[in-house]
A = this chain, B = another copy of it.
Amino acid sequence: MLKKTKVNAAILIIGNEILSGRTQDTNTSTIALWLNSIGVKVNEVRVIPDIEQTIIDTVNSLKKINDYVFTTGGIGPTHDDITAESISKAFDLKYEIHKEAFKILESYYKPGEFNEGRQKMVWMPKDAKLILNPTSGAPGFNVENVFCLPGVPSILKSMLGGLKNEIVGGEPILSHTISLRTVESEIAKSLTDVQNKNKDIEIGSYPFFQAGKLGVSIVIRSEDKSKIDNCSEQILDFVNKKNIEVVEKN
């Protein structure tokens, strides 16, 4: 399989509960870490409300400018679960009972329990490809480069593994962190110099406060391990000269 050098994705979080602040989104971080590990970089995340036209417009815009789009939320049995119907409209596909999904849920539930509410979860865009759900039965689905996952974090997590062969990533994005006992302003100039000498490497600087002490984590990200090593050496060089304590490297 020929790997592209840069593969990118957008994550689209659908749900009023995130926008209201009631629920803390954790799916972004779960999906992003998993995508990094298979060589896909997240370019953008959007959180939008449960409004059909907003979902349609946002999906149509994101799917054009990203290799992959992952949506979370809105595929359950209640009235506010409108992702499947909205995606059908976005792709101009019929919204209908998915026979394979119907069979899966029919055999998942005890006789008589596959009621009207649950049957809503098998309505999908015509000919959508299923994303199997080892936790609670109801599958997600995939149309072209858009992958629709549930909002419940534990269920979403359990479904990512099954997607591995559907996503063609580039080289995995590697990351190296150097945590220092210092403050950002002490290293800002030297770090800028290192960044200027390594323009194709992503260097981030993040203050932290742990066990009553201030520190800074420098995160170096690239697909190329030798470039990370080289950059790391240059950073440790000025760190040593400045007599700054290295708390952790990983």
Contacts and interface: CB of A to CB of B under 8 A. Distances in A.
A42 B17 CA distance: 11
Contact of A117 (B152, B184, B209): B184
A205 interface: yes
A26 to B, nearest CB: 6
Contact of A188 (B18, B24, B42, B78): B78
Interface residues of A, number: 65
A109 to B, nearest CB: 9
B19 A120 contact: no
Contact of A29 (B24, B41, B206): B24
B28 A204 contact: no
A34 B185 CA distance: 30
Contact of A189 (B18, B19, B43, B117): B117
A33 interface: yes
A21 B31 contact: yes
Given A116-B189, A117-B186, A184-B78, A21 B42 contact: yes
Given A28-B21, A207-B152, A219-B22, A44 B42 contact: no
Interface string A135-177: 0000000000000000010100000000000000000010100
A1 to B, nearest CB: 24
B206 A17 contact: yes
B36 A44 contact: no
17 contacts: A16-B221, A17-B206, A19-B44, A21-B36, A25-B28, A44-B46, A44-B48, A45-B46, A46-B46, A80-B195, A80-B203, A80-B205, A116-B188, A116-B189, A117-B189, A152-B207, A154-B209
